[in-house]
């Protein structure tokens, strides 16, 4: 009873195979036998490469990265402010408890 396990390939390997398929120097069947990857999988990786390649050079990607960075810094600022407020409230509530008991 043979069980087939899925292979997980890292992104560098996928990129290498997809680029080789894109070059067209070898047939998909040759690449498939060389790397032990099914032809359909190579087609999918090549298609994904073709779809996402233009985005590598676009300004939208840089803008999105900048927006993400700005949002992250704003969230860290808010967390810091909330921590200060919480510490102040703890201190004040402790003072009120001490006044009541004393």
Kindly report the three-state secondary structure assignment for every residue of the chain. CCCCCCCCCCHHHHHHHHHHHHHCCCCHHHHHHHHCCCHHHHHHHHHHHHHHHHHHCCHHHHHHHHHHHHHHHHHHHHHHHHHHHHHHHHHHHHHHHHHHHC
Cα separation, 39 vs 45, in Å, equals 10
**Is pTM, for the whole model, over 0.75?**
no
- Tokens (6 digits) for 62: 């840089």
Same domain, 18 and 39: yes
User: What mean pLDDT comes out for the span 66-76?
Assistant: 94
- Tokens (6 digits) for 71: 């949002």
Same domain, 53 and 75: no
pLDDT of residue 78: 97
pLDDT of residue 4: 67
Cα separation, 101 vs 95, in Å, equals 10
Same domain, 102 and 75: yes
Domain count, the chain: 2
Over the stretch 76-100, which tens digit does the pLDDT of each residue have?
A: 999 999 999 999 999 999 998 888 8
Same domain, 48 and 72: no
Q: Are 29 and 39 in contact (CB under 8 A)?
A: yes
């Amino acid at each position: 009873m043979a069980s087939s396990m899925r292979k997980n390939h890292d992104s560098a390997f996928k990129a290498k195979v997809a680029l080789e398929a894109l070059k067209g120097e070898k047939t998909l069947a040759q690449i498939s036998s060389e790397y032990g990857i099914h032809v359909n999988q190579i087609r999918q990786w090549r298609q994904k490469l073709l779809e996402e390649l233009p985005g590598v050079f676009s300004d939208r990607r840089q803008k999105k990265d900048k927006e993400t960075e700005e949002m992250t810094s704003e969230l860290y600022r808010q967390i810091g402010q909330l921590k200060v407020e919480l510490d102040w409230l703890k201190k004040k509530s402790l003072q009120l408890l001490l006044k009541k008991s004393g």
